[in-house]
Amino acid sequence: MQYLSLATLVGIATTVSSHGVITSPTPRIAGAVSRAACGTAITLLHKQDVTDHVEGMPQVAAVDSTYHADECNLWLCKGLQLDEEASGPVQTYSPGQVVPIEVYLRILHAGTANVSIVDTASNTVVGSELLYWDSYADEKLPAVPANNTLFSVTIPSDIEEGKCTTAGECVIQWWWYGVGARQTYESCVDFVLAPTAPSSRIRRN
Ligand SMILES: [Cu+2]
């Protein structure tokens, strides 16, 4: 399991406006590919604070000529792109595999959260939501519930054959919305499904 050090992830943060990111497995982080799609201004925001929220980014992007709306959907993975140079190798998972995920919450904002597999081309959820919290990151609780920052998802066994087999096609996206703060947080892990063993594909009638 790869861990990004918190120093790497948040050490350069100077603005303390925000608030959460996946730290393991290694999530999408800003690099050359994201910069080409999302532009220099958004990339600067990504680099200043990897935990930052989405709101505010569209306004920044709108006045940056290096932002390409057709290549950078800020509401999917905060616009971050597949970039193995920046984020390291794409994960390979098998159907049924339990994947532990660790999240760093920098500042709490009570809200809801979910984890889903998302088809990045269409920005649609593949299958059903994997996890859902109706109460997440509640700053009024005496302590952050352990399952807010350390949890696992099970890769579904019924993903359509051939889907999520190309790097960049599918991500595991952690999504959190702070209701009072009206702030959305997204963090994505690139993965591909391991090829199914040929024998298990044979249907017996
Ligand atoms: Cu906030």
Domain ranges of the chain: 6-193
Q: How far is the CA of 77 from the centre of ligand 1 (A)?
A: 18
pLDDT attached to residue 144: 97
Picking from 136, 158, 159, the residue whose alpha carbon sits closest to that of residue 147 is 136
SS (H, E, C) the chain: CCCCCHHHHHCCCCCCCCCEEEEECCCCCCCHHHHHHHHHHHHHHHHHCCCCCCCCHHHHHHCCCCCCCCCCCCCCHHHCCCCHHHHCCCEEECCCCEEEEEEEECCCCCEEEEEEEEECCCCEECCCCCEEEEEECCCCCCCCCHHHHEEEEECCCCCCCCCCCCCCCEEEEEEEEECCCCEEEEEEEEEEECCCCHHHHCCCC
Please report the ipTM that was assigned to this predicted complex. Answer: 0.93
Q: How far is the CA of 181 from the centre of ligand 1 (A)?
A: 6
When pLDDT is cut at 50, 70 and 90, the band that residue 23 belongs to is very high
What number is the average pLDDT over the span 120-134?
A: 97
pLDDT attached to residue 18: 64
Q: How far apart are CA 200 and CA 205, in angstroms?
A: 14
pLDDT attached to residue 195: 83
Q: 6-193 has which fold?
A: Coagulation Factor XIII; Chain A, domain 1 (2.70.50)
pLDDT tens figures, 45-95: 999 999 999 999 999 999 999 999 999 999 999 999 999 999 999 999 999
Look at the chain and count its residues.
205
Q: How far is the CA of 17 from the centre of ligand 1 (A)?
A: 5
Percent of the chain scored above 70 by pLDDT?
Answer: 87
pLDDT attached to residue 199: 54
pLDDT attached to residue 123: 97
**Residue 204 in this model has a pLDDT that exceeds 60:** no
The neighbour count for residue 156, using CB atoms within 10 Å, is: 15
**Residue 8 in this model has a pLDDT that exceeds 90:** no
Q: How far is the CA of 205 from the centre of ligand 1 (A)?
A: 56
**Residue 105 in this model has a pLDDT that exceeds 60:** yes
Q: How far is the CA of 194 from the centre of ligand 1 (A)?
A: 38
Q: How far is the CA of 51 from the centre of ligand 1 (A)?
A: 10
